[in-house]
Structure 1
Amino acid sequence: MTAVPVPAGYFDCLIVGAGHAGAQAAITLRQTGSEGSIGLLGGEHVLPYERPALSKEYLAGKKRFDQLLLRPAEFWPGQSVTLLLGRQAVAVDAETRTVGCADGTTIDYGDLIWCAGGTPRALSCPGHDLSGVHTIRDKADCDRLIRALPDSRRIVVIGGGHIGLEAAAVLGGLGKEIVLVEALDRVLARVAAEPVSRFYEAEHRAQGVRLLLGRGVTELLGRGGAVRGARLTDGTVLPADQVVVGIGIEPATGPLRRAGAEEAPGGAGVLVDDLCRTSLPSVYCAGDSAVMRDGPGIRIESRQNATEQAATAAKAISGRPEPLRLLPWFWSHQYDLRLQTVGLSLGHDRTVLRGNPDSRRFSLVYLRDGAVVALDCVNQPRDYLQGRGLVAAGARVAPELLADERLPLKEIAPPVQSPQHEGTP
């Protein structure tokens, strides 16, 4: 494909954020016939890569970084996509259609797709800025932690969500002594029901992870500028050579907010319609910064959501609009356990268990007003694939049928399109 000549500093479509959403937006623009100039701006100095693998295969040393690249280096110039790496967007002017960068440069655009994602939520307690306090959001974060591991034995993980649990599993597998601290009374409390939480707690304890639930962190203790421990709300002091913080993210929406984009209540993210358009003209938003105006009212932090929203925005820009009809799915690897989730369990009023957790193969079905809204499937890929039809249709199925693991869900589920493979943007 031959690049279209453009003035310096101008792109027909500028994409801010070079993660899964940004990469997918550029790819879809070309796939749908867009011949305009495309700029892909990212704050990191590396090619777009598979971010979820950082807390799994990359941290564990099972994959090299080049194996995480979404596309090989030659792909981007071959598609006439200009990579603007190592540059941070700090301002948007929707009237003049410009993006200002931290290095003082300004880029003009015809359309803007904001895929900047989010930044790790930091601890606010004393000592949060000590050396040896880590997050796992990008390659540089993970590399810093990897470099520190040879001289570290005791690691405190703060946060019992997916990132914290995945990090605990990997670091424990590397022979480290792990203590995981969660402020709520169970792990995965925000995303899963109690049977799933208790199952994962038991698995982590069996693997040697010490879990401290219902306790927060009041202070990180240091010596010589480096973290050496954590003081908890009950007064317990945990020695630590390193601390890993996984307590969620803040959406990177500041420039859009200041430009006047309409926000979701509570600053949860920028509101978008079913074509991923913001309230600003010619400005779209996709991924961890976006909240669907007619959706569940939350950000859906998953690779699938990021890529589907980005593709939706790109198709709209290309003149081939396809309103997004999202069926969310998520996944997590911990030890030899593969958790696959389809749908959102928000507001569920009943759960149905399929199988026995003691077998380490089971599913939990979530119901709201009698309709299936989500499934959590542990080492049960068949339930996950076949249960999509139940969620997509909001099917009403007798609980005793759902509980009968001998009955394949496809026999009671309407057909639904197969999900995109997890490894492709």
Structure 2
Amino acid sequence: MSMSDELRLDVEALRAEFPVLSRRLHGDRPLVYLDNAATTQTPRPVLDAWTDYFERYNANIHRGLHRLADEATQAYEGSRDTVREFVNAEDVREIVFTRGTTEGINLVAQSWGRANLREGDEILISRLEHHSNIVPWQLLAEEKGLTLRVIPVDERGELDLDTYRALFTERTRLVCVSHVSNALGTVNPIAAMSEVAHRHGALMMVDGAQAVAHMPLDVQALGADFYAFSAHKLYGPTGVGVLYGRFELLEAMPPWQGGGEMIKTVSLEEGSRFAAPPHRFEAGTPAIAEVIALDRAIRWVTNHHFELISDWEQGLLRRASEAMKGIDGLRIIGEAPHKAAVISFVVDGAHAQDLGLLIDQYGVAIRTGHHCAQPLMHHYGLEATCRASFAAYNTPEEVDYFVDALGSVIRMVRD
């Protein structure tokens, strides 16, 4: 499917659902928001779900017997089933609500990792990873005497799968890899990597933060044993995310945090007995409004059809990439053939931070820095890049405006 006129009309209608996109900045310049890999904007149906909870049935969940508590509980648990369908989990009990991708990964490290890994065991991670899928494993490795082995990346930004297969030993217990690189947009072949890991008796932990807004998910087809993502990269609210885990794994895992809701019984004399998953891992009052808003975000994005969104974003990526290659001294970092709509780039003689600050004066929001991926930056001999990332509501006209503004900024810096 191409970016037809009909689809463009759909995108214009879609844009009207995002109040923030009508903002004017810096002398009445239009906002061109290209920082979607950091966080996506939020459509009106998600905002309405948030306010509806606080205006109509704000109450704590699960334990209350009154009407508001019942309505809140039903909405919260209904969202769990929406997520289950969204990722194609087999059982609703495999969906754990967290504060985001980072907490989901830490939960696996501190619960499954502490219970199952022993001194000398090995974890495979990749050089593409966000710090959230590196640091928790470093902390666990230091505590338990584990070895981290690194899957290398080539100059195009693809993982070296031959080396990946060769890294496995009889002590390999876990593979931790991102579905999509936040810094480069590279889409990793998770299903094939999972098959290799399982053949060696290892589990697959997937950081899905950058994938959820760009492609349909099927955790069973991917072979993921754990899969974590955040709502705020899926047109939803901040402060909430999801950890999918195969039920037999979650059922055998000890709690990570203690408190209310995650228990069956508590006795000062006999200790505590814990609830079954997923509630075992949801101690305390959860982010109720955020979970309910996540339900609406998932419904919103699926109602607009992932196939259309993906095709639209890929068109924007091609348009931007082709235009940017015509800018003298600009180099795109990471040109894997299978990418999400992310462009990371550097410009000769210009600091990334300067470019980011100056292009903001044109109303264009991009990200600059190491993108919480310092090992990957060091692989390319860089301290920072600029990153433009696209979403369903971006347009070809915005791409053209961004490239023109970038050219003006580069000339300004060089002069």
| Larger RCO: 1 or 2 (CA < 8 Å, sep 6+) | 2
Same fold (TM over 0.5): no
TM-score under structure 2 normalisation?
0.31
TM-score under structure 1 normalisation?
0.30
